[in-house]
Structure 1
């Protein structure tokens, strides 16, 4: 009886560690034994517990980034203060994870 309970608990832990639900507009990068294995798409996904791990989680929505205001001089020698907003979006989760150390500022 005690052996059955231990096996049941181990099976529950194994199942809960293997099922991953990725939200809509997200991409998760999976590493298998420390090396890139694949990218999980939104929805229900299965991993090998204790072998696979989710290394990075990326949002695929457009992200606004405020650009600091600057003073510019035009051709007719007039000063303007320019303020901007930059929108960026992750399209390839693998490149965003491994391509640079900080993809937001790259």
Structure 2
């Protein structure tokens, strides 16, 4: 995933997110928006049973521990697991979509500066 001129390994984003309290599984994907040369990161997560998740607090937590280009712009929580094919593979095209359930860091005005 190319973000702000940096190559970002989605596995590194997933590994960082997976240690956050309450996240059961995280999958990072690159999203190419119209009229933008670089990608944006969308993090798709499932939560542990009964866990609460605040995307603002999570984003701040990520920014404290990682380079800012690794902090996902988009986050979507899948309450009933990720969409799967009949052969139990994740439907990657579906988790790349921006939906009404997708949280957008830019829409809430949350910005981070490089350290």
Q: Same fold (TM over 0.5)?
A: no
- The structure with the largest alpha-carbon Rg is 1
More helix by share: 2
Q: Shorter-normalised TM-score: what interval?
A: under 0.3
TM-score by length of 1: 0.22
TM-score by length of 2: 0.21
More strand by share: 1
